[in-house]
């Protein structure tokens, strides 16, 4: 329930702009994922939703292993007591923060770090990290070592007393391939390099995947998906069994006689790297810092003070712009979930 007397009990009273999450849709998304990736076959990626409250819900549903993009996200999970197996699925050279994370987790939580070079391995060694995955490049021009170099890094890590649990590789360049057959074939080709590296590296973990490939990646032992929980309009273009649970609630602050309306949510409350948000009432003309200008199908129906809901195109950066999300059941506010894993 809302956490304080001042918290709204209806969606009409939520201060805007605000993230609202429809509980029934969220529940359906989680159930759809559980049916395909139960238990530790899924390692939810908290970078998508950045909330320990939602992470706790996933842990309670049987997914106690998480991955994250930042040390801060892992620190937040440890402090909240959520998860027993945490992976930094990213490279870092910040020895001080890694050491602090290792000390914070102590023996209660397994912390694993991705490494793809001697420099990132050196940082893990210096910080006292106890286990790593060798991050292998599988086609996305981002992090990851050459598959041929993975065994050498693994041998060097073991020589330093670090447990090498296996490999990871992110086929992010294939998440939005719309044709399922082409997507499946391309993922198979990318994972061939990862599986080959895994055979040389050893360990029992092959980690990768994401929301777009969660059900076609048959090679990874665990899938790093997070966007499926809330979704966005880009992922809605794929043949996935998930629906949009997250919207940005906004208030109409101006109505023009020329036919457009303006709402109080703009660039500072929406992730825009995947394009404009969607709107069921008409077209999105453009977004500016604090406003979005909309072209409604029927301008006569809109008044200053009305509420509209925008559908974000990219969930991760949209969530990062807010301090909380409101869990709702229709017009009723069920809970306020702090977005407490933001920033670096």
How many CB atoms are closer than 10 A to CB 260? 17
Question: Domain spans of the chain?
Answer: 11-18+242-338, 38-224
Strands laid side by side in the 110-115 sheet:
65-68, 85-88, 110-115, 131-135, 163-169, 205-208, 222-223
Q: What CATH architecture is 38-224?
A: Alpha-Beta Barrel (3.20)
Q: What is the pLDDT of residue 108?
A: 86
pLDDT at 4 over 70: no
| Residue pLDDT, tens place only, 172-217 | 999 999 999 999 999 999 999 999 999 999 999 999 999 999 999 9
Secondary structure class of 172 (helix, strand, coil) = helix
- Which residues, 6+ apart, have CB-to-CB distance to 199 below 8 Å? none
pLDDT (average), residues 133-152? 98
Percent above pLDDT 70 for the chain: 98
pLDDT for residue 330 is more than 90: yes
Mean pLDDT of the chain: 96
Report how far apart the first and last C-alpha atoms of the chain are (Å, whole number). 29
Question: Residues 213-242: what's their mean pLDDT?
Answer: 98
Do residues 13 and 249 touch, judged by C-beta distance below 8 A? no
Report pLDDT digits (tens) over 57-113. Answer: 999 999 999 999 999 999 999 999 999 999 999 999 999 999 999 999 988 899 999
- C-alpha to C-alpha distances, 19 to 12, 53, 188, nearest whole angstrom: 13, 15, 36
* Percent of the chain whose pLDDT exceeds 90: 96
Domain 11-18+242-338 has CATH 2.40.37.20: yes
What confidence tier does 7 reach under pLDDT thresholds 50, 70, 90?
confident
Give the tens place of pLDDT for each residue, 250-282: 999 999 999 999 999 999 999 999 999 999 999
CA distances from 18 to 11, 21, 99, 341 (A): 10, 10, 36, 17
Q: What is the residue whose two structure tokens read 């939703």?
A: 49
Whether the pTM exceeds 0.85: the reply is yes
**pLDDT level of residue 2 (50, 70, 90 thresholds):** low
pLDDT of residue 21: 98
Decide: 278 and 271 in contact? Cβ < 8 Å: no
Q: Nearest to residue 290, comparing CAs of 234, 246, 340, 251?
A: 251
């Amino acid at each position: 329930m809302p956490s304080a007397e001042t918290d709204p009990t209806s969606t009409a009273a939520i201060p805007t702009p605000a993230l609202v999450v429809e509980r029934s849709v969220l529940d359906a998304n989680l159930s759809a994922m559980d049916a395909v990736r139960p238990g530790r076959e899924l390692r939810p990626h908290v970078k998508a939703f950045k909330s320990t409250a939602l992470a706790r819900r996933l842990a309670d549903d049987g997914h106690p292993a998480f991955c994250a993009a930042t040390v801060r996200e892992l620190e937040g999970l440890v402090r909240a007591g959520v998860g027993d197996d945490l992976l930094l699925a990213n490279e870092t050279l910040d020895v001080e923060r890694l050491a602090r994370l290792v000390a914070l987790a102590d023996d209660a939580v397994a912390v694993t770090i991705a490494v793809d070079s001697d420099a990132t391995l050196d940082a893990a060694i210096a910080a006292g990290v106890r286990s790593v995955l060798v991050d292998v490049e599988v086609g996305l021009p981002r992090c990851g070592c050459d598959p041929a170099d993975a065994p050498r890094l693994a041998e060097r890590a073991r020589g330093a007393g670090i447990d090498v649990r296996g490999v990871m590789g992110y086929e992010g360049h294939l998440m939005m391939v719309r044709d399922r057959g082409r997507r499946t074939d391309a993922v198979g080709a990318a994972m061939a390099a990862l599986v080959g590296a895994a055979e040389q590296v050893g360990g029992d973990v092959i980690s990768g995947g994401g929301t777009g490939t969660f059900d076609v990646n048959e090679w990874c032992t665990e899938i790093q998906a997070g966007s499926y929980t809330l979704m966005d309009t880009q992922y809605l273009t794929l043949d996935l069994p998930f629906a949009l649970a997250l919207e940005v609630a906004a208030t109409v602050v101006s109505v023009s006689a020329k036919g457009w309306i303006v709402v109080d949510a703009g660039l500072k409350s929406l992730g825009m790297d995947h394009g404009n948000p969607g709107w069921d009432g008409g077209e999105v003309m453009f977004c500016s810092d604090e406003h979005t200008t909309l072209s409604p199908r029927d301008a006569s129906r809109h008044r200053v003070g009305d509420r509209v809901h925008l559908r974000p195109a990219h969930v991760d950066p949209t969530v990062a712009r807010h301090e909380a999300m409101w869990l709702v059941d229709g017009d009723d506010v069920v809970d306020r979930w702090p977005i407490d894993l933001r920033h670096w």
